[in-house]
Structures are given as C-alpha cells and as structure tokens.
Amino acid sequence: MAKKLNKEIEDFFPALAELEREKGISQEAFLETLAGALSSAYKKQFDGETGTIDVRLDPEKGTIRFYLIHTVVEGEEPGEGEITLEEAKKIKKTAKVGDVLSTEFIPKDFSRIAAQTAKQVILQKIHETERDNTLSEFTDKEDELMSGLVRKVDMRNVYIELGKGQIEGVMLPQDQVPGEKYIAGDRIKVYVKRVKSGGKNAQIIVSRAAPGLVKRLFEEEVPEIKQGSVLIKAISREAGHRTKIAITSLDSRIDAVGACVGNKGARVNAVVQELGGEKIDIIPWSENPLEFIAKALSPATVISVTQLSEKAAVAVVPDDKLSLAIGRDGQNARLAARLTGWKIDVKSESAAEKMDLGEALPAPAEEPQDTEE
C-alpha cells in the first residue's frame, strides 16, 4: 500500500525540504496543516461512515498513510467516530468495547486530490508565514506615528499601506475622525494603536482619533519633547473638535508652553493643520490639582477652585464666561475633567455667592495658552 502512495508523492517531501530552506518554514508546520487538510478532503469519500480519518506523514520514509479510526461501543446505533462491537469483530476478531481500531485504506483519486490540497496548504502557509514575519517587524511600531497611503475605503473601514507597502493597516470606524474624508491615494499620518499577530486575525490597527496621535505629532514638531526636557503629562481629546494637552518643563530655562507653541505659533499650527483644524489647548501642568483644574478650563478665566471631596471640585468663573468654561454641549468642562482626572462642577460667580464653598484656591494670574483667537 505504501509503495503505491510513494509513487504518487515521490517529489512531495523534497519540495517541503526546499521550502524550509528558502522560506524558513519548518516541515512540521506544513505537515501538521496538510494532515488536517487531507483528512477533511478525504472524509467525503466515505458515505455513511462515521469514523475519524487520521493522516500520518513520514518525511523520512517518504510515505503518507490513511487510517479510518473507530472506537468500539455497545449497542446498535453508534455515534460519530464509533463502531458497534459486532462490526468491529469483522475487522478484528479480538476486538472489545473501548478498543480503538485503526483501519488503513487507500483513498480514491489520491493523486488529484492530494496535489490540489497540498498546493492550497503550501500557498496558504507561505502567505501566513510571510505575513506573520512582516507583522513581527511591526511589533516595535505599536504606539508610534507612521505615514501611510490610503489604499481602499469601504462602508466601514479604511485600509492603509504602511512602511514601503509591505503591510496593510486597518482604521476601524471608532478610530476615524468625524468629518475627515479619506480618499484612496492620499498620504496621511496614523497612530499605530495595536499590532495583532498570529493566525488569520493578524492585523495592524491604526487610528486618527486616538490621543496618542496628538502626542506623537507634538514630539515630531517640538525638539524639547523629543529630547525629554519638556514632558507631556496628560492628553484629553474629542477627535475633530478639541484637544487639551498638559505639559511641564524639566529645565527651568525652558518655557514648556512657549516651546510647544513655537515662533509665531508655527509648531502648534503644524499639529493643528495635520489634524484638520482641530483646536488645541496647551495647559501648563501643576502638582497642585486645584491649580491644574483652573488651568485646564482654558480658554475660560477661572476665579477660584474649591475641593468638595476626593477627586471632586467646583470651579467658579465670571458670569459672562460660564458658557465658555462649560463649552458647547459641555465639551470644555468634560475635556478638563478627563485631563485632570477630577469631577469638575463649573459655577458662575453669582451662583457661587449663594453657596458656602469654604476656602477656595484662587486661579493663577497667568492664563494658559491655546489655539483660539
């Protein structure tokens, strides 16, 4: 039986050895996948049979053997992969309940089906391996900024060629910026959010909406951030609308806000332009949380901030600045809360006079800078 099969596959195992040398894919990886594929391919050859097909490949001997596997059970209605004791005794006289019988067979149309299956498995394995190898090279790109070419846009996702076109990134709906248009052929900058490697679900998830994109853009535009003398302490963002970024300087000679704004606003404007006009508030970070809250409510002027409880405070603003402090649909106050990690209740000065707020922290004399006129 083995001799007949050997004649059909005499070139198969040498071909696998050659692929192992060329592609770095082990024969074992091919053989395991091929055994499962051949088992499925030949399962349909056995109408009415419920046994499991076991394919055993031996590269040293150059053989492929096929076995029909049954477990011996009592009764007249065996389940999947089972055989009655009566039928089992026809195969092996000493068979008893609980035995596992392996019956070797030669499948029909071996040459045609084996060749088709082997070709499909080999091509698929090569594709998966090359994709995984490329993905592995991108693992250190996670949380980084990359330039890419928009390849395709469908009803939901945007597909972007990254690097030298070696691999494709996927931008899901939640990672797209409301109002931004993505057109095939356009070159855009994206934030590598996650690299998922291995298996059929291997992919690179990129984003234009993540706060990390703003962080990396500032690193690209501001040498002081890249060098580590200016630190980004926190970012809160509602993509397409507004971002608040808190920064501090580790060098007393460097003005952190001025470094991020740049000469005549050149640096921050470059980031704003890349983000399609999104407003950016550059906030000086403070170790004092109440002072930080006052600054975070930029561009509004804050009169005082009072702590109400742990991680909760009330900020008082002039009556005519209340809407500015809260922002459209509460956006400014919401972003300030995310930036500071505190729950912030914004009150007008007249409303605050009716409340007993206790001791309050006056707002800093110097107001933070932002991109609003």
**pLDDT value at position 358?**
52
Q: What are phi and psi of 95, to 5 degrees?
A: -60, 145
Same domain, 221 and 337: yes
165 within domain boundaries:
yes
Same domain, 15 and 81: yes
Final residue before a domain boundary, out of 137, 170, 191: 137
User: Considering just the CA atoms, what is the radius of gyration of the chain in Å?
Assistant: 33
CATH number at residue 350: 3.30.300.20
Cα–Cα dist 116/172, whole Å = 36
Residue type, 89: K
227 within domain boundaries:
yes
- Which one is predicted more confidently, 8 or 77? 77
Summarised one tens digit per residue, pLDDT across range 217-273 is 999 999 999 999 999 999 999 999 999 999 999 999 999 999 999 999 999 999 999
Same domain, 34 and 50: yes
Do 195 and 141 form a contact (C-beta atoms < 8 A)? yes
**pLDDT value at position 357?**
63
At 24, list the tokens. Answer: 């770095």
Same domain, 358 and 294: yes
27 within domain boundaries:
yes
The SS3 of residue 188 is strand
Instruction: Quickly count: other Cβ atoms within 10 Å of residue 129's Cβ.
Output: 17
User: Mean pLDDT of all residues in the chain?
Assistant: 84
Same domain, 178 and 47: no
Same domain, 236 and 293: yes
Whether residue 289 has pLDDT greater than 80: yes
Same domain, 226 and 186: no
**Number of domains, the chain:** 3
- Which one is predicted more confidently, 1 or 214? 214
Same domain, 159 and 179: yes
Sign (positive/negative) of CA torsion 266, 268, 271, 276? negative
CATH number at residue 159: 2.40.50.140
User: What domain range is 161 assigned to?
Assistant: 148-206
Final residue before a domain boundary, out of 159, 185, 206: 206
Summarised one tens digit per residue, pLDDT across range 344-372 is 999 999 888 877 665 555 555 444 455 54
